Homo-oligomer: A and B are copies of this chain.
Amino acid sequence: MNLAVSASKITNTMIGFEHIKQISRTSPSKIVLLILDGVGGLPHPETGKTELESARKPNLNRIARDSLCGLIDPVGPGITPGSTPGHLAVFGYDPVKYNIGRGIVEALGIDLELKPDDIAARGNFCTVDDKGIIIDRRAGRLSTDKNTELCRLLNNIAIDGTEISVLPVKEHRFVLILRGEALSSELADSDPQQAGLSPKKIEALSPQAQRTAEFANEFVSQASSRLQHEPSANMVLLRGFSRRPDIPTLPEIYKLKPAAIATYPMYRGLARLVGMQVLPGGESITEQLDNLRRYYDDYDFFFIHFKSTDSRGEDGNFRAKVQAIEEIDNALPGLLSLDPDVLIVTGDHSTPATLASHGWHPVPFMLKSRWCRPDNVAEFSERACLAGGMGRFPATEIMSLAMANALKLDKFGA
A contact set with B: CB distance below 8 Å: 2, 4-19, 23, 42-43, 50, 70, 73, 75-85, 94-97, 99-100, 102, 105-106, 240, 352, 354-355, 357-362, 371, 373-376, 382-383, 386-394, 396-397, 399-405, 409-414
Contact = CB atoms under 8 A, between A and B. Distances in A.
Contacts of A8: 12-16, 391-392
Most central of A9, A73, A95 by chain B CB within 10 Å: A9
A389 to B, nearest CB: 6
Given A11-B13, A11-B394, A13-B77, 18 more contacts: A2-B18, A4-B376, A6-B17, A9-B392, A10-B11, A11-B392, A16-B96, A23-B79, A42-B371, A78-B402, A78-B403, A78-B409, A79-B404, A79-B412, A102-B414, A105-B413, A352-B371, A354-B371
23 contacts: A2-B387, A4-B387, A6-B18, A7-B16, A8-B14, A9-B11, A11-B73, A12-B12, A13-B77, A15-B75, A43-B374, A78-B400, A79-B409, A80-B404, A82-B413, A95-B412, A95-B413, A360-B400, A360-B409, A373-B382, A375-B383, A386-B389, A389-B392
A76 B397 contact: yes
Given A43-B374, A402-B78, A413-B82, A96 B15 contact: yes
Chain A facing B: main interface SS: loop
Contacts of A73: 11, 13
Contact of A13 (B9, B50, B357): B9
Contacts of A70: 6
Contacts of A106: 414
Contacts of A43: 373-374
B393 A9 contact: yes
B391 A75 contact: no
B10 A13 contact: yes
Contacts of A2: 18-19, 386-387
